Amino acid sequence: MITIHDNWEEAFAPPSRADLEALLPAFLTASRWFGGKAKTIRSATLSDVLHVDMGKPSMMLCFVEVCYDEGGMDRYTVPITAAFETEADRIKRDHANAVIGALRVVLPQGIHAGVLYDAMWNEDCAYTLLTSMGRRGQVAGSSGALVGSATKIFDEAAVRPHTAPVSVMKAEQSNTSVKFGDRVIMKLYRRVEPGVNPELEIGRILTARGFRHSPSLVGALEYRHGRDEPTTLALAQTFVANQGNAWEYTLSQLSRYFEMVSSPDQNRIASEPPAVERPSLNAQAAATDASLGFVDAARLLGQRTGELHIVLGQSSADPAFAPEPCSASFLQSRGEAMQRSASDALALLRNRLPALAASNQELGQKVLAQERSILDRLGVMDREPITALRIRCHGDYHLGQVLYTGQDFAIIDYEGEPAKPLAERRAKHLPIVDLAGMIRSFHYAAHAALRQRRDHPAIARRSQNLAPEADQWYRSARAAFLNGYRAVAGEAPFASQSDFEFNLLLDVHVLDKALYELTYELNNRPDWVSLPLTGILHCVDTSTSGIPDVGTGRGDEACDPCAIGRPTDEVNQ
């Protein structure tokens, strides 16, 4: 309980400020966007407080420096406002995790009881932050200033207070996003560090260059401190009407496909004589149709990915976006970094192996037996001349980072992996990194859909082992995606100049991604560890010199979508 006199904003000034800071650790650890849950908070202090007062209620935009017993410090953005009496009761009832602490304001006419809470759950405060972008003004704090900026799209979006319903997006994990009707989405970055967030940086470029398959940038809020590079606090983008993300769409397509291939008619194909085979062939055709729908979608997604890379890979006078060749030092450091990560992942696997299920122990032992081969494969880039250029990429590309509109795809969330340092997220990469991330996402989707079926006893009882069908679906979707990509970007200036180099880079980066997933699953979902283990074995078992071509980009001869149900020649089969 914080007790103050006259005005709730006095809670941010001494001596009440210390009482407020004492409440912050409990609030932070209960917030889904807080990334330090595995550590112990030693202190949480307000490094700067900006009074944003453009309407009622006013809001205090706070920067909270969190220090840990284990060492290190993070900085978080926490906008705070107050509610009293019945409104305070509503906040405590409907948004308990948003409450920071109880507040008591002593006035001559009586005592007002209320709460301090996260202002992102206040509709008027959310509009205030959005409006601050359009006003392009500044709000001074004790150490720095809040600066708003907007593109010409801001005025076109015409979002004004109370003209569109406001809702907090509950699916957000590491930040907080607010939707203003069907016009604009504003994202507040929670863990921040000095420097431009890549989502703002890339958003400016994509909007300026007219890329149509991502949301357009509407505005941004930045924190400026002296001569330091501005810190990105929030951005607003146009809302893209959608039917969910591509992960959800893919799982629905897989569910339909598995229903088709597990139907009784489909199961009779191999056992019935030719005289009665025609009805079964109809079921087979239906199953193939079910797979073809996603093969076409995967090809389209590959095309959109290629178009994204072409826009990001254009020549530029801006050093942050100018394509760069792969120097010998870059290739060496990249290979060494991947080998270090692989060694750490395999050491963790060796340590956790006894606790895994028997089937996963067997897979794990096979992977550990290939440790030398894995490390050699990851070091292959600095032994070959690489013609591909490094460009700005998505950086955290998977099916969950793409919206399905019903007829097309829109690519979102360009901030990279939030757990990585900002400088690393802003770095240029070989564009093949994005392809590897999406390919691993296809593999995950196929086997996640299988797990969903096994979790429903009624479906599981009437389903045969569909793992081979899942693998065939994955290979066909993967080949279609790569062909779609290379049809658009296969001959771009930044692209590999040979199929051998393309396949080699893809093989290495898919392996690196699978090893990253191995660490994640061992630490978070050990019962899912078979997916990265299988992916690692696929990579190791495929000889780089023997990898068949995925297509030249001039046609689809390397991808036969009708191959569902029979072996498919394809990279990393």
Q: What is 362-393 written as a DSSP string? A: HHHHHHHHTHHHHHHHHTGGGGS---PEEB--
Average pLDDT over residues 455-460: 61
Q: Is the pLDDT of residue 101 over 70?
A: yes
Residues 6+ apart with CB under 8 A from 500: none
Question: DSSP letters of 263-305?
Answer: SHHHHTTTTS-GGG-HHHHHHHHHHHHHHHHHHHHHHHHHHHH
Look up the CATH number of domain 246-389+433-563. Answer: 3.90.1200
Q: Which ranges in 313-380 belong to alpha helices (H)?
A: 328-352, 358-369, 371-378
User: What phi and psi, each to the nearest 5 degrees, are found at residue 432?
Assistant: -60, -20
Torsion sign, CA atoms 307, 308, 311, 315: negative
Contact predicate 291/476, CB 8 Å: yes
Predicted model pTM = 0.87
Between 395 and 107, the higher pLDDT residue: 395
- Model confidence at 121, pLDDT cuts 50, 70, 90, reads very high
Q: Is residue 14 pLDDT above 50, yes or no?
A: yes
Q: Which amino acid is at 17?
A: R
Phi first, then psi: give them for residue 66, nearest 5 degrees: -110, 120
Per DSSP, the chain holds a count of helices (H) and strands (E) of 17, 18
Question: Terminal CA-to-CA distance of the chain, rounded, Å?
Answer: 61
Q: How confident is the model at residue 366 (pLDDT cuts 50, 70, 90)?
A: very high
Residue entry with tokens 């979102």: 412
Indicate whether 171 pLDDT > 80. no
Least confident of 3-7, 75-79, 449-453, 542-546: 542-546
Q: CA nearest 431: which of 556, 286, 316, 326?
A: 326
Q: Is 515 exposed, middle or buried (0-12, 13-18, 19+ CB in 10 A)?
A: buried
Q: How far is CA 131 from CA 83, 239, 474, 550, in A?
A: 22, 17, 45, 49
- Interval 33-71: pLDDT, tens: 999 988 999 999 999 999 998 767 899 999 999 999 999
Residue among 412, 429, 12 at smallest CA distance from 175: 412
Average model confidence (pLDDT) for the chain? 87
What pLDDT score was predicted for residue 458? 57
Question: Is the bond preceding 15 in cis, omega lying within 30 degrees of 0?
Answer: yes
Which tokens belong to 50? 């900006």
- What is the rounded average pLDDT of the residues 186-190? 96
Predicted confidence band at 135 (pLDDT cuts at 50, 70, 90)? confident
DSSP 8-class letter at 406: S
Confidence of residue 459 (pLDDT cuts 50, 70, 90): low
Give the mean pLDDT of 546-571. 37
Residue 102 has pLDDT above 60, yes or no: yes
140 pLDDT more than 60: yes
Cα–Cα distance for residue pair 540/26, rounded to 1 Å: 46
Other CB atoms within 10 A of residue 228 CB: 11
DSSP code of 229?
P
Whether residue 544 is predicted with pLDDT greater than 70 in this model: the reply is no
| pLDDT band at residue 407 under the 50/70/90 scheme | very high
At 572 the pLDDT is 31
* Amino acid at position 327, single letter: S
Please give the pLDDT value at position 452. Answer: 86
CA distances in angstroms from 410 to 249, 407, 490, listed in the order given = 13, 10, 21
Reported as a single tens digit per residue, the pLDDT across 265-308 is 554 333 333 333 333 434 444 444 445 578 999 999 999 999 99
Tokens 């990898």, residue located: 547
Q: Confidence band (pLDDT; 50, 70, 90) for 460?
A: low
- Choose between 437 and 161: higher pLDDT: 437
8 Å CB contact between 530 and 540 = no
**Backbone phi, psi, residue 423, to 5°:** -60, -40
- DSSP β-bridge partners for residue 46: 64
Are 391 and 341 in contact, with CB atoms under 8 Å apart?
no
Q: What is the 3-state secondary structure (H, E, C) of 158-216?
A: CCCCCCCCEEEECCCCCEEEEEECCCEEEEEECEECCCCCHHHHHHHHHHHCCCCCCCC
pLDDT tens digits, one per residue of 465-490: 788 899 999 999 999 999 999 999 99
| Residue 309 contacts residue 434 (beta carbons within 8 Å) | yes
Does 96 have pLDDT greater than 70? Answer: yes
Residue with the larger pLDDT of the pair 179 and 550? 179
DSSP-derived pairing of the beta strands 217-224 and 231-238: antiparallel
**Is 382 a residue whose pLDDT tops 90?**
no
Q: Which of 147, 291, 299, 174 is nearest to 232 (CA)?
A: 147
Residue 275: per-residue pLDDT: 33
Where do the domains of the chain lie?
A: 2-119, 125-238, 246-389+433-563
**pLDDT reported for residue 56:** 76
| Contact indicator for 49, 61 with CB cutoff of 8 Å | yes
Measured CA angle at 489 (ends 447, 399), to 5 deg: 25
Handedness of CA 470, 342, 427, 47 (dihedral sign): positive
In the numeric block, which tokens belong to residue 249? 């769409």
